[in-house]
Amino acid sequence: MRALSALIVALVVWLLPPAASAFEIPGLAADSSAYARTLTPRAPATAEARAAADRRIDAAIARNDWAEAVRAREARIALGEVTDRHWLRLAEA
């Protein structure tokens, strides 16, 4: 009986699918990196420029102008000191 139980356990383990790996879309990392590089600034960014970009974003959202909000968010990302929150807000816009 013990041998039969061991055989059944071995068969179940053998028949189970392998553990799933992390989901990755082919080419997504390269495309997103290329997009991020297009947003890099031509000149060094200042804290004042970042604050102005944040005000531009707020104004566009207040006007419900989502096309401008996207452009403003891209400009803000280009100014550096970017967090995941900035990318998430760009995706939401």
Range name among 10-14, 63-67, 73-77 with the lowest pLDDT average:
10-14
pTM over 0.85: no
The number of distinct structural domains making up the chain is 1
Q: Is residue 80 part of a domain?
A: yes
| Spatial separation of the C-alpha atoms in residues 7 and 12, rounded to whole Å | 9
In a domain, 76, yes or no: yes
- Domain of residue 74: give its range: 64-93
Look at residue 34 and tell me if it is in a domain. Answer: no
Note every long-range contact of 31-35, with CB atoms under 8 Å and residues 24 or more positions apart, other chains counting. Answer: none
Question: Is the pLDDT confidence value at 13 over 70?
Answer: no
Where does the pLDDT of residue 1 fall: very low under 50, low under 70, confident under 90, or very high at 90 and above? low
Query: Residue 16 has what pLDDT?
Result: 63
Per-residue b/e over 58-82, b at no fewer than 16 CB within 10 Å? eebbeeeeeebbbebbbbbbbbeee
